């Protein structure tokens, strides 16, 4: 298993309770085939540039261990969620 870091930016119009629910949903998805080490909810921050007409978003950083096959499924889930406006998953050193 490899170590990964996933940064997800969630639409700022989403309620904070829903942000927590989404974080838990991502954690469950990762724990199905990997192991979450740490989830950080950094709160609402200003974006460097507009994304889908939003100037800010909720940042969630997830550090985890997983097999490479899980990354494709995780990113597929990010893409189909309307609340997620931007994401990136990188392999941690």
Q: Is 29 exposed, middle or buried (0-12, 13-18, 19+ CB in 10 A)?
A: middle
What residues make up the domain containing 11?
2-91
Closest CA to 40 of 64, 13, 66: 64
Segments of the chain with pLDDT less than 70: none
Q: Report pLDDT for 58.
A: 95
Q: Report pLDDT for 16.
A: 87
* E strand or H helix that includes residue 17: helix 16-33
In the chain, the number of structural domains is 1
CA-based radius of gyration for the chain: 13
d(CA 53, CA 51): 5
Q: What is the CATH number of the domain that holds 72?
A: 3.30.70.60
Q: Is 52 exposed, middle or buried (0-12, 13-18, 19+ CB in 10 A)?
A: exposed
């Amino acid at each position: 298993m490899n170590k990964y870091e996933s940064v997800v930016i969630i639409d700022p119009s989403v309620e904070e309770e829903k942000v927590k629910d989404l974080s838990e949903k991502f954690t469950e998805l990762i724990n199905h085939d990997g192991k979450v080490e740490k989830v950080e909810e950094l709160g609402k921050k200003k974006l460097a540039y507009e994304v889908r007409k939003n100037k800010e978003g909720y940042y969630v950083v997830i550090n985890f261990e997983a097999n490479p096959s899980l990354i494709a499924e995780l990113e597929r889930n990010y893409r189909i969620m309307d609340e997620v406006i931007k994401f990136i998953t990188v392999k941690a050193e």
